[in-house]
Chain A
Amino acid sequence: MKLLYAYRYGIIGGVSTQLMFRRKALNDAGICCELFFSQDNGLKQVLSDRDGIHFGTDVIFSQIVNKGKYDAVVVIDSPELLSPARGPIYRRSLVYLDVHTTTNTGLAYLADIVPNRLAGVMVPTHYSSNLISRLLPVNSYVSILPNIIDANIFSEKNDSLNACVKEGDLREFIWVGKLDHHKNWRLALVYASMLREMFGDIIFHVVGGYTAPPSQAEAFFQLAYRLGVSSNVSWLDRAENISLSSLYSKCANSGGAMLVTSRDESFGMAAAEALLCGCPLIANDLPVFREVFPDSTLVHRVDIWKPDQVAAAAEALPYKPNLDDVRDMRAHLIKHYSAESFVKAFKSAMKIDR
């Protein structure tokens, strides 16, 4: 089988990372999988192997589909690619829609798609399935294809977790996301200030925002200054997974945590990766997190608009996470979100090997 995944944004983020994992998993399972991105927002630069990964305009996409003779094309949240994904009239490809967004704005395009032109719809979680089912015709079939997590790169650093962390050591926290309304970055800075007031000097890592427009970047520095945390906040606008894994471990080892202020999430890849590294979460109590993350001492669910709850969760953070809890969490995430789980669900959705 030959498959093409297509997405608009070639940005170093959750969806593109997920596509890389899926591509590898499918290729390992004997299914040829290629990727296409309409835009390059920094992704091309970090790719070591670009064989089978295409970048270009809608016209280039049409040409790739026409020449590629794909059995199926899966389009992720990019409605402008749905029509060219069908290919030439004499050799139509099966077109699937994969929905990863959960915002009202992001989902608005579902009102305009023609469902009978799709071979199927896919989502990463039951939460997303329930969300979009209200927006699609009643008889639309939605398959759940779980995301894949990389438990090799994202793992606890045992020697560091065993190190003795004591009261008074500098705590480090981390927040990962774009500087946009959805991820609620301003709230993250407010809580950075609160955490500094609680624990004295801290380091608050902000990772992401590479494509943030200048106005947002300026607003970031102004707000950090207004809150008195310019020297505590460290903005890393983009990071490779190995660096991110290191940061999660550093935060875990320092008695810190990852803060999730998002208004909504379709899965929570960054949060899952943090947990794989043993880094506790102080997370907005989102429905999808109830589905993806089991109850654990590592997961502090809060109403992110209630500072008292966030403060209480921060106070409850251990100086180092319980190793048994870390291993249990890893085991759960690996079991449910492995490459094998994805390939199995993929084959079921595509009705392969029946």
Chain B
Amino acid sequence: MSTNWNSYLIEALRGDICSREAELESIRNSLRYRLGGWVIEALPLGKKTFLLFFKLIAFYFKRRYRVISKTVVPSKEPLNIINSNAFTVVYGQEIPEYLQNSEILITDIASVLSGLLDAMKPQGVLVVRQLDQDVLRRIVRIRNNGWRVVWHPDDFIEYDPAFMAYIIAHADECIESSSI
């Protein structure tokens, strides 16, 4: 073998280490970890234990205030999209000209598209105009379920080459951007 695969193994290990470090950072920043740290610092019993109660009370009100100060009105739009039975879905911000007169759904919100695709809707056509891991990780599954995937890049978006390589390889049809 001419390729030095051991160097790729080292790269894979480094990637693993980065992921683990990110997990560790996430744990350290978690609520449970931080609160646990306060409790540990408050022992043995002493002045710090006394201060802990004030800290916890302040924390409680801070979180309570944060929760009640926001009024979140859930948008009905995503639910309408997920519950729809439209045959063609455009993932992006602009409907291509050849679909202008069709009954389609359009969304550029990843969570909405994910909900729609995960709902195992009947076969349809997905026109992909923006790329992210949310849509790419579902491409093979929806194609296996009978969906047709069309890659139609948007002229005004610069795409990640890794994402582009994957969608080009796995789409049923690729429509060239007019700027290419």
Interface residues of A (CB under 8 A from B): 42, 45, 181, 184, 186-187, 189-190, 193-194, 197-198, 209, 212, 214-227, 230-231, 233-239, 243, 305, 307-308, 311
Contacts and interface: CB of A to CB of B under 8 A. Distances in A.
B19 to A, nearest CB: 7
Given A181-B20, A187-B9, A243-B144, A231 B15 contact: no
Interface in B112-135: 118, 120, 133-134
B21 to A, nearest CB: 11
Contacts of B160: 221
Contact of A219 (B1, B15, B134): B15
A205 to B, nearest CB: 8
Interface in B1-22: 1, 3, 5-6, 8-9, 11-13, 15-16, 19-20, 22
B138 interface: yes
B162 A237 contact: no
A214 B134 contact: yes
Contacts of B3: 194, 197
B15 A190 contact: no
Contacts of A227: 8
> Chain B interface: which size bin?
20 to 34
Contacts, number: 92
Given A238-B141, A311-B1, A186 B166 contact: no
Given A230-B165, A236-B144, A221 B133 contact: yes
Interface of B: 1, 3, 5-6, 8-9, 11-13, 15-16, 19-20, 22, 118, 120, 133-134, 136-141, 144, 160-163, 165-166, 168-170
A237 B16 contact: no
A186 B165 contact: no
Contact of A217 (B118, B133, B169, B170): B133
B1 A235 contact: no
A147 to B, nearest CB: 26
Given A187-B9, A234-B170, A181 B162 contact: no
A226 B168 CA distance: 16
